[in-house]
Structure 1
Amino acid sequence: MRYEFEDYSLDPARLELSRGGERVHVEPQVFQVLLHLIRNRDRVVPRTELLDSVWGDRFVSDSALASRVKAARRAVGDNGTSQRVIRTMFGRGYQLAAPVREVRGAAGAPPKATAVWPRQGIRFCTSRDGVRLAHAATGSGPVLVQAARGMTSLDHGEPGHSLLRLSERHTLVRYDARGCGLSDRDVGRFGLDDWVEDLLAVVDALGLERFPLLGVSEGAAVAVAFAGRHPERVDRLVLHGSFARGRVARATTQREKELAAFDLDLARMGWEHDEPGIRQVFTARMLPTASRQEWERFDEARRLSASPETAVRIATLFAHVDVRPEAGLVRCPVLAVHARDDRSVPLAAGLELANLLPGSTFVALPGDSHLLSDADPAWPVFEGELGAFLGAAGPRNGSPPVA
């Protein structure tokens, strides 16, 4: 059974929304919002019912639902003014307004194989200062904890299918940074100390005593700071696209300082004025080989994951961050990988950090991608290095979290 409305088609079996035969990217929870409204189109769906349908027994704020409804409208070319497809019934809930056709067993070419999104059991814990953090585990096997990056959400994965691939061999533990995703959004000001405490709260909640830790991009700075402050907790440290000092902190010449300040001003303009064209300057640096459509999906996912104020705070924090003191305190083996021509964080910044980490192994990956997808030519190199490095770590202390 699939459902057709206007020139859209929604296929529950394939978890796919398409328009005119072209797939439309939607996050899993946005897809579930659309599906529940379509299946119950003969009535008004109360907000509480829609929350239960999408999030189950997990407590989330009304703003989380509102953002998913807004994203659902955007996916089908609707908006809160016209309400051509999704109608808001004030004080009651939502109702699907567009006529729907049910299509059973339609003939046609067999569907292309699609990746199966890993099941993730989302739970919540509380950091030392009372901020509620959403965390999840996907896959099976030895635990691998990933330090949070900014402007991501458990609602979506990393570029391409990298999350799926990492979950094939590991129980991958992720969590939303404070102010982002399903974690508490309204958290005020924060710094690196808060992010380190949040990581500690997550692993403590899961009962993980000693574990391998993965840090990607700004998450690498968090991972290094955590490993330096809690050396007894980390048995292997993996860094990708890392840096000891943010762009402002490592600027020494006048030109470097001017470019770093311009970068930060550009980020502020892109987020505060909701200018996707400006934000895509940074997206293009992180994913230079991706298509424009992939850039737009990536930017939209980041936009939905955090408020403009939080996004600017994160950009400012990691532009000024300096984890050189913590790097010298790391006592576990370290694997640092970095794209040779990384357009977002130069290779020299990754080398600076690696040289501060005692006994680290540094691998220069081919290409210029700051964030890897499994379609990137550098992915097999990264996957091979990661497997060899973690395979040498031996048994883990603590049991994998149960999803």
Structure 2
Amino acid sequence: MIYSFSGNRLDTGRHVLVRDGAPVAVEPQVFDILCLLVRNAGQLVTKDRLIDEIWDGRIVSEASISSGINAARTAVGDNGRDQRIIRTVPRRGFEMVAEITADERGTAEAQADLRQTIRYVAAPDGRSIAWSSAGEGPPVLYASHHLSHLEKDWASDLHAPWHRALAGAHRVIRFDNRGTGLSDRITPEDTLDDHVADMLAVADAAGLERFPIVAWLQAGAVAVRFAARHPERVSRLVLLNSYARGRLARGQAPAAPGDDPFISLIRSGGWGDPADGFMRAWATMVVPMAGAEQTTDLIRLIAHAGTTEDALLQRDLIDNLDVTEDLARVQAPTLVIHTRMCAIHPATEGRRVAAGIRDAEFIEVDSSNTIIIAGDPTIDRVIGAVLEFLGADQSD
């Protein structure tokens, strides 16, 4: 939805605020406050409701509420004296008083214009792997993280900036890893090499001969091994918050699963439930810069991606992977991008990957998110760098 008021244009799908034609940098929590107020324009939003929806019902001080409202006012060109746009109702709450027009077109319509086609391919062991194609132009294989769902992710506002940008210039091939989304389930016997074989099966089914790969997180390790074993197939490699060693392989996680808070949160019993406190804590570790509404959306996507057991099996494989020896065998030009404050896979791992691949470029951005979603302050820079790097493939 796109809301227009007093020279402002608030795009809830893209998590973008534009004032007088210029983009405005807005913290995710402040953006959530604006969304709540514009959706209830002309109505009182009580402080209790504000706390419930923005702070998840936690106890917050009056100063924190005032700070959030003041930041929202500043973002839209208002202030506490004039209150032309956001009015304070003493001792009760706040009201959006500006005249607002709403345009229901936007993200959903843009995604409809970029329709994807979903197909299946059999992996060498007979497992069915779901893959999709969207857009036109030079192909790119987009390998997502281990909690994906081709249909739900495609319709999600969280990932829309990536899909629109890539499919607007490329034929984008995506797939669900075994154990997630529309693909067959994972088993304890599955290995990293099985995932490499799945990637090859998808590339062959899509008719890709020589192509670039954009890979997130653990898919980066899969892509590195794929590129090392099939150098003739990979023209360029983009690795986003990727790593060569899983958490156990690099000594970051406790050896006993019961001692690992990250695993304990998955086992908590509320997997995929936005109302579960443990689930929200886990999601906050993944995307700490997300607002409350985005955190809820992410958890709902995860619920579709797989079960608790799927997630635990995926984590066991991911935490133990190690493709360090494959790095030196990668021949394709490589771009490594890592968020500086990522708590799950620290930037030192991204630097290690870049150092291991000959002539790899490395970009570090000021974000703490593990996945760079809509509203992340670095998303425009990152997508721009990826598109520029992929574009150079056409002139090679």
Q: TM-score range by the shorter chain?
A: 0.5 to 0.7
Aligned-partner residue type, residue 152 of structure 2: H
Contact kept in structure 2, 1:264 and 1:316, CA below 8 Å: no
**C-alpha spacing 1:200/1:394, structure 2 compared with 1 (3 Å):** same
Distance 1:270 1:323 in 2: 31
Give the structure 2 partner of residue 69 of structure 1: none
Tell me the alpha carbon deviations over residues 215-246 of structure 1, each in whole angstroms, 9 at most, x when there is no partner.
11111111112111211110100001011111
Give the structure 1 partner of residue 371 of structure 2: 371
Contact kept in structure 2, 1:272 and 1:309, CA below 8 Å: no
Shift of 1:264: 4.8
Contact kept in structure 2, 1:266 and 1:278, CA below 8 Å: no
Shift of 1:385: 1.5
Give the structure 1 partner of residue 18 of structure 2: none
Distance 1:311 1:220 in 2: 18
Select 2:146's aligned residue among 143, 150, 157: 150
Give the structure 2 partner of residue 242 of structure 1: 242
Distance 1:140 1:273 in 2: 37
1:1-400 equivalent positions in 2, closer than 5 A: 109-115=101-107, 116-117=110-111, 118-157=114-153, 159-161=158-160, 162-185=162-185, 189-251=189-251, 261-270=259-268, 276-394=276-394
RMSD: 2.8
Shift of 1:261: 4.8
Tell me the alpha carbon deviations over residues 262-311 of structure 1, each in whole angstroms, 9 at most, x when there is no partner.
14532441468766432333321222221122112211211221122111
Contact kept in structure 2, 1:211 and 1:235, CA below 8 Å: yes
Distance 1:169 1:298 in 2: 26
Shift of 1:189: 3.5
Tell me the alpha carbon deviations over residues 343-372 of structure 1, each in whole angstroms, 9 at most, x when there is no partner.
331111111111111110001112222211
Distance 2:287 2:322 in 1: 25
Q: TM-score, normalised by structure 1?
A: 0.66
Tell me the alpha carbon deviations over residues 329-349 of structure 1, each in whole angstroms, 9 at most, x when there is no partner.
111110001111223311111
Question: Percent of pairs identical after alignment?
Answer: 30
Distance 1:273 1:325 in 2: 35
Distance 1:120 1:133 in 2: 16
Aligned-partner residue type, residue 266 of structure 1: S
Give the structure 2 partner of residue 104 of structure 1: none
Distance 1:265 1:337 in 2: 26
Contact kept in structure 2, 1:131 and 1:187, CA below 8 Å: no
Distance 2:101 2:389 in 1: 43
Larger mean Cα displacement after TM superposition, 255-264 or 196-205: 255-264
Contact kept in structure 1, 2:215 and 2:240, CA below 8 Å: yes
Distance 2:121 2:207 in 1: 12
Distance 1:168 1:273 in 2: 34
Distance 1:353 1:291 in 2: 30
Shift of 1:165: 2.3
**C-alpha spacing 1:284/1:273, structure 2 compared with 1 (3 Å):** closer
Give the structure 1 partner of residue 91 of structure 2: none
Distance 1:121 1:127 in 2: 19
- Matched residue SS, 1:336: strand
Distance 2:367 2:171 in 1: 28
Distance 1:186 1:382 in 2: 31
- Matched residue SS, 1:389: helix
Distance 2:309 2:382 in 1: 34
- The aligned length equals 292
Contact kept in structure 2, 1:341 and 1:368, CA below 8 Å: yes
**C-alpha spacing 1:265/1:377, structure 2 compared with 1 (3 Å):** closer
Aligned-partner residue type, residue 183 of structure 1: S
Tell me the alpha carbon deviations over residues 162-207 of structure 1, each in whole angstroms, 9 at most, x when there is no partner.
2222222221110111122111236563121111110010001112
Tell me the alpha carbon deviations over residues 130-167 of structure 1, each in whole angstroms, 9 at most, x when there is no partner.
01111101222211101242121101227342222222
- Matched residue SS, 1:304: helix
Aligned-partner residue type, residue 233 of structure 2: R
Distance 1:124 1:362 in 2: 35
Q: TM-score, normalised by structure 2?
A: 0.67
Contact kept in structure 2, 1:243 and 1:353, CA below 8 Å: yes
Distance 2:374 2:165 in 1: 7
**C-alpha spacing 1:357/1:130, structure 2 compared with 1 (3 Å):** same
Distance 1:129 1:120 in 2: 26
* Gap regions ≥5 residues in structure 2: 1-37, 41-99
- Matched residue SS, 2:151: coil
Aligned-partner residue type, residue 269 of structure 1: R
Distance 1:324 1:260 in 2: 27
Contact kept in structure 1, 2:129 and 2:175, CA below 8 Å: yes
* Gap regions ≥5 residues in structure 1: 1-20, 24-107, 397-403
Larger mean Cα displacement after TM superposition, 272-281 or 133-142: 272-281
Aligned-partner residue type, residue 240 of structure 2: H
